[in-house]
Amino acid sequence: MRAGIHRTDCCVLTRTRRNFWGATLAEVIIGLALFAMLSLAVTGTLIQTARLDTKDVTLTESTILADTLMERRVSDAREYERYRDLLGTPDGDYWTLESDRPDNLQTRYIYRVEVSELNPAMKRVMVSVSHRDSAFPIPTPDLSQGQNGVAITVGTMIAEPAR
């Protein structure tokens, strides 16, 4: 009898033992699909691990950077004259970091400071750190990173120092 599926008199499909070694096309397809799924799972895990690591680095860098930039603003604001100067910061402009940083963050991040005056003795300062698009010579946020390129935004209220 030849290997394969045969129609009997009762119209019942039966399978007979094949006389040669090898896999049917269906078995090969199922095997390949399983192998592809396994390979995809492993590759996906490795890619996700690398992404998580990059995100963790970005989170740490941007958090520390934003805190440092905010700290400078608050430090400046402790002196009356510089408290007045806070409003002189042009809103909406992106600024580069100092070029001699040992951590080299100036190549990857830019920042923006927004100051608003809630009342004459209270200002709100927001510092946003954004990913830098290295394709442009002027500081430009990297919009491909999502959230308009913003990595982190921190804010605080600063009261006018006593004179």
Angle among Cα 56, 58, 64 to the nearest 5 degrees reads 100
Rounded CA separation 138/122 (Å): 33
Nearest distance in Å: CB 53, other proteins: 6
The owner of tokens 């990857």 is 108
User: Cβ 10 to other proteins, closest distance in Å?
Assistant: 23
Whole-number Å distance between alpha carbons of 106 and 150: 15
User: Helices (DSSP H) in the chain: which residue ranges?
Assistant: 25-77, 80-85
List Cβ neighbours of 117 (8 Å cut-off, separation of 6 or more). 87, 123, 124
Nearer to other proteins, 102 or 137 (CB): 102
Q: Which stretch binds other proteins (CB under 8 A): 3-11, 82-90, 101-109, 140-148?
A: 101-109
Interface map 44-83 toward other proteins (x if CB under 8 A): -xx--x--xx--xx-xxx-xx--xx--xx-xx--x-----
Q: Are the beta carbons of 85 and 76 closer than 8 angstroms? A: yes
- Per rule CB under 8 A, count of chain residues that contact other proteins: 25
Site for other proteins in 104-163 (CB under 8 A): none
Using CB under 8 A, which of 33, 36, 41, 157 touches other proteins?
Answer: 41
Segment interacting with other proteins, rule: CB under 8 A, options 9-17, 37-45, 86-94, 132-140? 37-45
Q: Measured between alpha carbons, how far is 84 from 53 in angstroms, rounded to an integer? A: 41
Residues near other proteins (CB under 8 A) are 38, 41-42, 45-46, 49, 52-53, 56-57, 59-61, 63-64, 67-68, 71-72, 74-75, 78, 101-103
